[in-house]
Structure 1
Amino acid sequence: MEYMGDCNVGDFFKWSVLTGSIFAVLLMMVSFDSPRENNSLEASANMHLINDTEIPILMYHHFTEIESETSSTTVTVERFEEHMSALKDAGYNTITDDQLYRFLHFDEALPEKPIMITMDDGYESNYIHAYPILKELGMNATIYLVVNDQEKTPGTIPHLTWEQTKEMYKAGVMDIQSHTFDSHYYIESETDEGPALITIGKNEDKEVYLERIRKDLTQSKKIIESQLQKEVVTITYPYGATNEDVINIAKETGYKLGITVQIGTNNSESSPFKLKRLNVINQYDGGTLLNKIEGLE
């Protein structure tokens, strides 16, 4: 063996073992630190994506096969199909109210280019016309029911039956949420009239008004949950009208989201009870609708 100066073989062996042990410890430290560093970078990247996510919510009501019946709240079946096909071809992915809730409250990631399709009031045309189109395209939407109008024709347009509603929900195509129990009308106040949800009636005081709203939101939620065996998380305000009293009652009665008709898109900084939408009209072809959505972002 080559001469090692003052170090004998035993000392050299001890020195080698010690050096190797130190090296092994350092290697383990690097190995343990790397995943944490990678996870941190990955979490940062995911948070960046969450913060950058914009979520348009489209608003529809009723569908018809007759062009002359279209209005600001009525779209032809042909046009609706064109809209949905345009969204799908452009890479949009439809999401549910539950997904939006988890995104806003828990930062859960959404699919790329998320979008919500919503339908107010609960018209039977949602079942007859919109449901088959969405099912064929592999998309979903949410219907917001005026619960007291179920199984009825309060005006000239019939509303959904519970049997139709259950079929769409169980198929995973239509989510079902609340548009109040029976507050989709205008009410007289002492000086004027306004949406029932935000107006103290001329024969009411503040306490009676608040109890009326609390009873309505509670009843709507309980009936839908009983009929469909699901949690109701969203209240969509009739006419888009809300105030702090309504929002506080919605929170107290178990709602997690509130949707208006204010024009705009939504992101991680949006108020969960003041979400924005875009009303879709029959004059928009597929390309126009995509441009309108992009203009919101």
Structure 2
Amino acid sequence: MAAYTGTGQKGGKEMERTGMGKLVMQMAVTIALLGGICAWNLHRADERVAAMLEQGGVQLPVIMYHSILKDEARAGPYVLSPAALEADLDYLQHNGYETVTISELVDFVDGKGDLPAKPVLITFDDGFYNNYLYAYPLLAERDMQAVVSVIGEQTALYTESGQENAYWSYLSAGRLVEMQESGVFEIGNHSYDLHDDSVRKGCLKKRSESVEEYRQMLTDDTHLSQTYLAESGLTPPQCYAYPYGAYSDETEDILKAMGFRCTLTCEERINIISPGDPDSLFLLGRYNRPSGMSTTTFFEKALPGEGS
């Protein structure tokens, strides 16, 4: 009869505990290594940012607004009150920020101009009529500038109908001309008919499309918007704001080939743009301004150094 070794139920539990202990130790080591790698990557990223700033790069926060309405019942992620917008603009000026235009940014990266010490780009997406009603006078009173990126089909629709309602109307071509000629607003492209996720999400390529089919679709839609705006008396936009922030691998090259100098995403991050580096104006990150957050709290997140 074999001798009893003591490796019955009790021994099995001890082995299980030992195995579990090794697993926990391995997991701890893995987490530590990953933490070290992340810290190293963040350090390297900080070094790259510092190097870009030393070479003349400029930190550029971009703020993204949508609809501006007095009705508090409509407040939400993409609807802000005029009072909150006014507080935002006053905060920026009080803290030394100066608004810049797309044209000034293009000149800067082309080595043809300088930027203020603390530049900020203010953007409005979609082209709601209430931007004219509320944002336009607030900006004009403060000698500030912004870019409004319009959906071409909506501009055409409301140009034809002549309807102007703060809740649901979009800007007509006539209003856009007025806003552009004032020097307060530049006009951006937000697609002609891609701000609709029933067929595709924004500028995303469908899985069923070939690259050539996608290129033709995006080129046709963008050309339609550019042509309509130009024929309406507006300067053809240099900047394209991606509907829903959605784009595909091919999108940037297509828009660059069409002459665009800047694209706007919905990714929340501070940008660094550099003289002699036109590509630094592409895929700019932006901070969406929602309701329900104080001006100070929002800008502690959206402006470099404000939250430190």
User: Normalization by structure 2: what TM-score?
Assistant: 0.73
Alignment match, 2:261: 256
Partner SS, residue 112 of structure 1: coil
Alignment match, 1:137: 142
In the TM superposition, 1:72-91 aligns within 5 A as 72-91=77-96
Q: Cα deviation per residue 1:129-179 (whole Å; 9 max; x = unaligned)?
A: 10011111111111001011115479x711011111111111111111101
- Alpha-carbon spacing, 1:106–1:218, altered in 2? closer, same or farther (3 Å): farther
1:225 has 2:230 as partner? yes
- Alpha-carbon spacing, 1:50–1:141, altered in 2? closer, same or farther (3 Å): farther
- Contact conserved, 2:62 with 2:285, CA < 8 A, in 1? yes
- Alpha-carbon spacing, 1:89–1:196, altered in 2? closer, same or farther (3 Å): closer
Amino acid at match of 2:62: I
- Contact conserved, 1:83 with 1:285, CA < 8 A, in 2? no
Alignment match, 2:181: 170
CA distance in 2, matches of 1:272, 1:292: 21
- Contact conserved, 1:72 with 1:281, CA < 8 A, in 2? yes
- Contact conserved, 1:265 with 1:296, CA < 8 A, in 2? no
Percentage of identical aligned residues: 26
Give the deviation of 1:49 after TM superposition.
Answer: 7.0
In the alignment, structure 2 segments of 5+ residues that lack a partner are: 1-51, 162-166
Give the deviation of 1:121 after TM superposition.
Answer: 0.5
Amino acid at match of 2:205: T
| Greater mean alpha carbon deviation, residues 260-269 or residues 89-98 | 260-269
In the TM superposition, 1:147-226 aligns within 5 A as 147-150=152-155, 152=157, 157-188=168-199, 194-200=200-206, 202=208, 204-226=209-231
- Contact conserved, 2:202 with 2:242, CA < 8 A, in 1? no
Alignment match, 1:271: 280
Give the deviation of 1:107 after TM superposition.
Answer: 6.7
Q: Cα deviation per residue 1:72-94 (whole Å; 9 max; x = unaligned)?
A: 11001111111111111111100
Alignment match, 2:33: none
CA distance in 2, matches of 1:282, 1:276: 20
Q: Cα deviation per residue 1:6-29 (whole Å; 9 max; x = unaligned)?
A: xxxxxxxxxxxxxxxxxxxxxxxx
CA distance in 2, matches of 1:276, 1:237: 11
CA distance in 2, matches of 1:169, 1:70: 28
CA distance in 2, matches of 1:182, 1:232: 16
Amino acid at match of 2:123: T
- Alpha-carbon spacing, 1:152–1:285, altered in 2? closer, same or farther (3 Å): farther
For these two proteins, the number of residue pairs brought into alignment is: 245
CA distance in 2, matches of 1:259, 1:224: 19
| Regions of 4+ moved over 6 Å | 47-50
In the alignment, structure 1 segments of 5+ residues that lack a partner are: 1-46, 189-193
* Greater Rg by CA: 1
Partner SS, residue 228 of structure 1: coil
Alignment match, 1:126: 131
Q: Cα deviation per residue 1:98-131 (whole Å; 9 max; x = unaligned)?
A: 1122223437320121001100000000001100
Alignment match, 1:247: 252
Amino acid at match of 1:148: E
- Alpha-carbon spacing, 1:272–1:60, altered in 2? closer, same or farther (3 Å): same
CA distance in 1, matches of 2:53, 2:216: 43
In the TM superposition, 1:104-119 aligns within 5 A as 104-106=109-111, 108-119=113-124
| Greater mean alpha carbon deviation, residues 260-269 or residues 116-125 | 260-269
Alignment match, 1:93: 98
Alignment match, 1:22: none
1:59 has 2:70 as partner? no
Q: CA RMSD in A?
A: 2.5
Partner SS, residue 168 of structure 2: coil
